[in-house]
Amino acid sequence: MQLRDSDHFSLIGAGLAGPVMATYLSQLGYPVDIYESRSDMRVNSQSAGRSINLALSQRGIRALKDIGAFKKIKSSLIPMNGRMIHDADGNIHLQPYGQKKNEVIYSVSRSKLNKSLMDHAEGKENVNFHFNYDLRDIDFQNSKLNFQNKNIPFRRVLGSDGASSKVRASISKDSDIHFSKRPLGHGYKELTIPPNNSTGFQLDQNALHIWPRGQFMLIALPNFDQSFTCTLFLPMDGDNSFTSLNSEKKVVDFFKNYFPDAEELIPNLSDEYHKRPVGKLATIYCDKWHYGGIAAIFGDAAHAIVPFFGQGMNASLQDCTVMNSLVEEYEGDWDVIFSKFSDNQVPNGYAIADMALENYIEMRDSVNDQKYKIKRQLEFDLENKFWDRFVPRYSMVSFYELPYSEVYRRGEIQFKLIDSFIEGIITKKKLYADIENKLSPIR
Ligand code: FAD
C-alpha cells in the first residue's frame, strides 16, 4: 500500500461513522487524525450516546465488511425477522420484514459497535485518535481547527460530528450551504425489560416488538444480555405527552391503559421513567455537503433523520462506502471527489429523511390496520412474480444498497399501482403490464 502522506485528514467525531470513514481512508493509504469531544468510551464507561441498541441492515453491513470489521461484530448481532405487533387487546402477530431467509435486520449494542469500530480503526497504523477535543469552529482562511483549548492546523477536514455539527456550521458561515432543522414534535425515552431468571428473554428475541397506538407507540429491541430496550415515542406536549405524564400515577396508569402486557415486564417503570431523559427528535436537511475540496460532512452531520426506519447509522455508513469509491475513482482530485459525493448523496439524504418520517405513521398507526396488511401481502405476491422489478420498499431500504432516492422513486410508483389495483381503478392485467413498463430490473 502506498502511503499518501501529502493528503492528511482531520476527521471530527468518533461516533459510528467517523471510525468507519477513517478505516476506509487508511486502507487507501491516507493518514487520519480523529478528534472526538468526549473521553474515550473504551476507557471511561459512559453512555455511548443516544439509543442503547440499533438496527443494523445491509447498507451498514456492507461498509463493515469492506473495512474488515464485520467478522468481529457478527457474534454480537441478534437477528430480528420481523415486527411483532402487540395490539390493544393483547394479541400478538409477526409481520415478517422480508420473504427470503436472509431478509432480517440485526439488533446491536451501540456502545459495543462504537468501541469495536474505534479499536478497528486504531489498529491501522495511520489512524490516530484524540479524545476530549471539542471543536468550536473552523478558520478556513488560516486552515485552523479551533478546539476548546487549542488551535490545530489542518489540510483537509471531514465532519462526522453528529446532528449539531460544528463542521457544518463553520462551512455554512463561509460558503453557500444551507441547512434547516425540523423538529418532529415527538420525543423518546428508553426503558428496560430485564431478563427473567428462568426463561431469559421475556419476549420473542428474534423480533422488533411494536405496540402501535395511533399518536404514539412503544417499541422493544432485544439485547445480548437477554434484556429488551424499550423506546417510548410520545408527543412532547398535549394529551398523552411527555409534558402531561408528570406524576408516578399518571405514568403507571398510562402504561396499564395502553401497554398492559409491557407494563407487567418493566419492574421499575415509574422510577426508570423519571430517571431517563427525554430525547428530542428532528430532521436535518442540508443542501450541500462540502466546501470545495477542503471539507466535507457525512453521517448525521449531513442528514440527521428520525429513527423510524432504523436507517440513520446505515445511511451514515453508506456515505462512507460512497466516499471510498469516489476517492478510489478520482484519486487525489478532492474538488471532484467532494462535489460528486455531495451531488450523489444530498438527494439520498432527503429521500431517507422523508421515508423515515413516513415510517413513523406506518409503525405507530397503520401496521395493525387491515388495509395495510392486504397491501403488504400484495407487495410480497408481486415480488414473487416480478422478483427483479417489484421489491417492497421496506426491502429495498433494508436489504438492498440501491440509492435511497431511487428507492423512493420506485416506491412511489409501486404504492400508486397497488392503490389503483386495490381500489379497482386498474385490472390485474394492467397492474402486471405497468410493472413491466414502469419498473426496470434492479439486479
Ligand atoms: P454520531 O454517532 O452522533 O457521532 C457523532 C460524534 O461526534 C459523537 O461521538 C460526538 O461526541 C462527536 N462530536 C459531536 N460534536 C463534536 C465536536 N464539536 N467536536 C468533536 N466531536 C464532536 N440508526 C440506525 O441505523 N438504526 C437504528 O435502529 C437507529 N436507532 C436510533 C434510535 C434513536 C433513538 C436515535 C436517536 C437514533 C437512532 N439511529 C439509528 C440513528 C443513529 O444513531 C445515527 O444515525 C448515527 O449515530 C450517526 O452516526 P454519526 O457518526 O454520524 O453520528
Span from the CA of 162 to the centroid of ligand 1 (angstroms): 5
- Report residue 343 CA to chain centroid gap: 21
Dig out the grid coordinates for 220 from the structure. 422493544
pLDDT surpassing 70 at residue 51: no
Counting ligand 1 atoms within 8 A of each CB, the residue from 118, 221, 300, 345 with the most, and so the one to mutate, is 300
106-119 pLDDT tens trace: 999 999 999 999 99
pLDDT at 1 over 80: no
Mean pLDDT within 157-178: 96
Question: Tell me, what's the pLDDT at 443?
Answer: 73
Over residues 216-230, the mean pLDDT reads 96
- For ligand 1, the distance from its centroid to the CA atom of residue 177, given in whole angstroms, is 21
Closest CA to ligand 1's atom 37: 307
Q: What is the mean pLDDT of residues 271-300?
A: 97
| DSSP-based helix, strand, coil % in the chain, nearest 5 | 40, 25, 35
Atom of ligand 1 nearest to the CA of 147: 19
Distance 308 CA to ligand 1 centre (A): 15
What pLDDT digit, counting tens, does each position of 228-258 carry? 999 999 999 999 999 999 999 999 999 999 9
CB-CB contact of 342 with 288 (8 Å):
yes
Q: Pick the more confident residue, 49 or 209.
A: 209
pLDDT at 5: 64
CA of 108 to the centre of ligand 1 (A): 14
| Ligand 1: nearest atom to the Cα of 231 | 34
- Distances, alpha carbon 206 to alpha carbons 14, 221, 382, 437, in Å: 30, 9, 26, 38
Average pLDDT of 162-178?
96
Whether 48 has a pLDDT exceeding 60, the answer reads no
Q: Please determine, for residue 3, whether its predicted confidence score (pLDDT) is greater than 90.
A: no
Q: Name the pLDDT band for 167 (thresholds 50, 70, 90).
A: very high
Please report the pLDDT score of residue 366 as a whole number.
82
pLDDT at 403: 98
The pLDDT of residue 412 is above 70: yes
Q: For ligand 1, which residues put their CB under 6 angstroms from it?
A: 12-18, 35-38, 49-51, 54-55, 133-135, 160-162, 166, 188, 231, 279, 299-301, 307, 310-314, 316
pLDDT at residue 428 is higher than 70: yes
- Angstrom CA distances, 87 to 111, 194, 214, 239, 283, stand at 31, 22, 11, 21, 29
Nearest to residue 381, comparing CAs of 435, 424, 420?
Answer: 435
Mean pLDDT calculated for residue range 366-382: 92
Instruction: Give me the pLDDT at residue 362, please.
Output: 85
Instruction: Give the residue whose CA is nearest to atom 16 of ligand 1.
Output: 161
pLDDT digits (tens, 9 = 90+) for 292-339: 999 999 999 999 999 999 999 999 999 999 999 999 999 999 999 999
Mean of the per-residue pLDDT values for the chain?
95
Residue 226 · residue 201 · CB < 8 Å: yes
Of 21, 23, 161, best ligand 1 pocket probe by most atoms within 8 Å of the beta carbon = 161
What spacing in Å lies between the alpha carbon of 312 and ligand 1's midpoint?
8
For residue 34, list its beta bridge partners: 11, 129
Residue 346 has pLDDT above 80, yes or no: yes
Q: Whose CA is nearest to atom 34 of ligand 1?
A: 51
**Are 54 and 110 contacting, i.e. CB atoms less than 8 angstroms apart?**
yes
The reported pLDDT for the residue numbered 367 is 83
Mean pLDDT value of segment 262-279: 95
